[in-house]
Amino acid sequence: MASKNLEIAKLFDEIADLLELAGQNRFRVNAYHNAARSLRDVMADIAELARQETLTDIPNIGASMADHIQEYLERGRIGRHQELVGQVPHTLVALLQIPGLGPKKVMAIYENLGVKSLEDLKRVLDSGELAKLPGMGTKTADRIRQGMAFLEQAGQRVPLGAARPVAMSLVEQIGKLPGVERVEVAGSIRRGKESVGDLDILCTAPVGPAAVEAFTKLPPVERVLAAGQTKASVIVRTRVGRELQADLRVVPAESFGAALLYFTGSKPHNIHLREMAIKRGWKLNEYGLFEGEKMIAGKTEEQVYKKLGLSWMEPEIREDAGEIEAAEQKRLPKLLALDQVRGDLHVHTVASDGQNTIEEMARAAKDMGYEYLAIADHSKSAAIASGLSIERMWDHIHQMRGVAHRIKGLALLVSTEVDILADGSLDYPNEILAECDFVTASLHSGFQQPREVATRRVLAAMENPYVSSIGHPTGRLIGKREAIDLDMREIIKAAAETHTALELNAHWERLDLKDQHVRMAIEGGVTIVINTDAHSIGDMELMEYGVITARRGWAEAKNVLNTFTLAGLKKWLGRKRSQPRRPSRTGKVPVSRGQEEIPF
């Protein structure tokens, strides 16, 4: 991706943050954030698009945003940004990244205590001055301190969705270098971890120094840290503007499998394998599996595993969490594959905060080969996301049914993402929910509620007979916002009892459920649904990140709702609506209209 795209996207995000600190209209704030997101998603050079006068063809880039882009390309600055920096100290933007510290609190501690930086904030926390401010208190100070610790820890790694595109681009380019015979990504990327610390890439080439030198000159490389005969370390920049170290190692073809196994990890997995080798009197390292000085395996991973008496294991489950024992017993799961996904049951349109129309999203889903798609725009309480009032929702339902009749070869499902309110009730009455084919209920507020209160809200929502799934259950944003404190074991138990799916939100900033919760849910008999929460056609491609995370949770196709055929999906959904009303676990019994037939 061109560096100008990232530079302008960063400035747009800063303008949004400064507007928020200045107390400006929230919708204007979102306009700049949305424009920044679109610029990061555009792979073409923004300067070239400007020359072609096609900037306004980019989603979220209107005339004023296009003018800002032109101004930056011509002058290297954006006047609106400089104007805002003159009104609000630029250093306050960093404080907005701290979970639990919103713009009002940031401005309060700035105006009352002169806090302009993270160092200033630490000082007033340690001195107790912040806790004494009106509207703050000890609990707020503690949450801010915890948020700072969380941010500091998260800042050491880059989200998978920001790092993986860079890694795959490097692999593709390295594979085209003269003499390179094979190239693979290893490390956390290959295992599909939600965040990574660096990139590990292996290749084979007859002339190592030539491959290393060519690697250091590839377009994504910003600077070279070290370069030798068989290894180079460079710095690349990710789509979120973060720097990331990338290492290339040229390894002998006869050792490639052992090296790939070693550098893929995880460390506990590798230690377990080495211990198995030692018990046999062998030695296992990145060069191969050895009996004395003789290499007995190493060209492929399969060779090494087979020699140790194991089935080959998918990289995503190599965490020493029972996979080696399962391989010994020949009972490894047949992990979910991307091509087994038949549809997406949670996407948004321009009716709320999406970028495309109902018909555009539907046709894109059909082009992807999907059998079905559920349009799930926000409910009325999500005002910031242009949530639909009851009247607008009825009209929206009518529009969705109309498009469904026009689109042949795709089942377009009427849906909604309905807010779970503070008391566990839902943002729409059952009359609306009953008209939907699929209902996703989500928490979008009350993230700081005590564990028992937040858990009770989710349990109450699952008791509603029309709720098909709980969306992004913990509400986390990787590296930005901690998960809601929920009793996941209790939620998983209730999901199984109420026949409610739990969503694995595939957006790379969420990946929620996370991999450990996916495995817990599957072991608890709960069905997972993998959705992209797409707000644009491009976002629908994020399904792969959900599949990767599901694989890390040992998910098979049978565990995932949107691998079912349309008939199977309809049967699964009908089961909940037709089951007898049960006593409430939360002291409420949602109104039910009894036996229901899914209307699609």
pLDDT for 584 equals 58
The reported pLDDT for the residue numbered 498 is 96
Token pair 């994504």 is found at 220
Calpha distance 243→114 (Å, rounded): 31
Place of tokens 């009359």: 431
Percent of the chain with pLDDT over 70: 95
* pLDDT, tens digit (0-9, with 9 covering 90-100), for 498-553: 999 999 999 999 999 999 999 999 999 999 999 999 999 999 999 999 999 999 99
Residue type, 240: V
> pLDDT tens digits for 342-369?
999 999 999 998 989 999 999 999 999 9
Q: Report d(CA 492, CA 501) in Å as an integer.
A: 9
pLDDT above 90 for 475:
yes
| Cβ 346 vs Cβ 531: under 8 Å | yes
Place 590 in a pLDDT band, splitting at 50, 70 and 90: very low
Q: How far apart are CA 3 and CA 186, in angstroms?
A: 26
* pLDDT tens per residue across span 206-264: 999 999 999 999 988 999 999 999 999 999 988 777 889 999 999 999 999 999 999 99
What is the per-residue pLDDT for 141? 87
- Quote the pLDDT of residue 274: 96
Average pLDDT of the chain? 90
Question: Helix or strand or coil: residue 321?
Answer: coil
Model confidence pLDDT, tens digit, residues 543-568: 999 999 999 999 999 999 999 999 99
Which of 17-21, 191-195, 249-253, 424-428 has the lowest average pLDDT?
Answer: 17-21
The yes-or-no verdict on residue 594 having pLDDT over 50 is: no
pLDDT (tens digit per residue) in 69-125: 999 999 888 988 888 888 877 788 778 777 767 788 888 888 899 888 888 898 999
- pLDDT for 489: 96
Radius of gyration of the chain from Cα atoms? Answer: 26
Choose the weakest-confidence range: 152-161, 425-434, 485-494, 572-581. 152-161
What average pLDDT does this structure show over 155-167? Answer: 89
Gap between the Cα atoms of 72 and 84, Å rounded = 16
| Of 15-24, 97-106, 164-173, 309-318, minimum mean pLDDT range | 97-106
- The CB density around residue 448, as the number of other CB atoms within 10 Å, is 15
More confident position, 44 or 513: 513
**153 has a pLDDT exceeding 70:** no
Q: What are the chain's domains?
A: 3-145 (1.10.150.110), 155-250 (3.30.460.10), 252-332 (3.30.210.10), 343-578 (3.20.20.140)
Structure token digits, residue 202: 């292996």
CA atoms within 13 A on the CB side of 79: 6
- Tell whether the model's pLDDT for residue 27 goes beyond 90: no
CA–CA distance from 158 to each of 154, 155, 194, 246 (Å)? 8, 7, 9, 12
Give residue 597's pLDDT. 40
φ, ψ at 251 (rounded to 5°): -120, 155
What pLDDT is stored for residue 583 in this prediction? 56
Confidence band for 1, pLDDT divided at 50, 70 and 90: very low
Rounded mean pLDDT of 59-65? 88
CA distances from 247 to 165, 177, 201, 212 (A): 15, 16, 6, 10
**Bond prior to 266 in cis (omega within 30° of 0):** yes
User: What does the pLDDT average to over 30-56?
Assistant: 84
State phi, psi for 233 to the nearest 5 degrees.
-125, 125
pLDDT at 372 over 60: yes
130/115 Cα distance (integer angstroms): 10
In whole angstroms, what is the distance from residue 162 CA to residue 164 CA?
6
